[in-house]
Amino acid sequence: MTSRIVIIWTLLTFCLAIPGYGKVDCLTAAPNNPPKITQMIVHPNPANPGATIILEMRVENAAANLSGGAVIATDSHGNNYQGKISSVEGTPDTFLTSIRLSPLTDPGDLIFEVFILDAAGNLHQTQFLAITIS
């Protein structure tokens, strides 16, 4: 329950803190055919505490407004992360974002709960991702 409250608070803070997002209702319903993550890969894996990792996402129904959106992630230790989504040139269904891991992350397996927020402020799909911290 506490994790969900933190995620909601993070989303609201994110929506209000970024110029342009304050003009959009960040919690509006997603379109009828929302983007869907079909694959998510993390580079590098394993990673060290404090490292910057790249999340590579393959997305179905990727609307033009997905690029410029954001990824909001919470790890299994309760740390929150945000990263801006960018498209990969020449690959219309592939998107990237980078996040920097907490330097206090303990070695072992770490599970991320990842949300997509498109450029229009619509919240999309939750995805889970595992990474090993060395």
Tens digits of residue pLDDT in 58-84:
888 776 567 788 899 999 999 999 999
Average pLDDT over residues 107-126: 86
Tokens at 44, concatenated: 């590098």
Residues 27-63 as b or e (16 or more Cβ within 10 Å = b): eeeeeeebbebeebebeeeebeeebebebebbbeebb
Give percent of the chain with pLDDT exceeding 90: 40
CATH code, 6: 2.60.40.10
Domain count, the chain: 1
Helices (H), the chain: 2-17
pTM for this predicted structure: 0.70
Structural domain boundaries enclosing 7: 2-133
Question: Cβ distance 3 to 67 under 8 Å?
Answer: no
Say what the pLDDT of residue 3 is: 57
The mean-pLDDT minimum among 11-25, 29-43, 87-101, 117-131 falls in: 11-25
Residue 14 pLDDT > 90: no
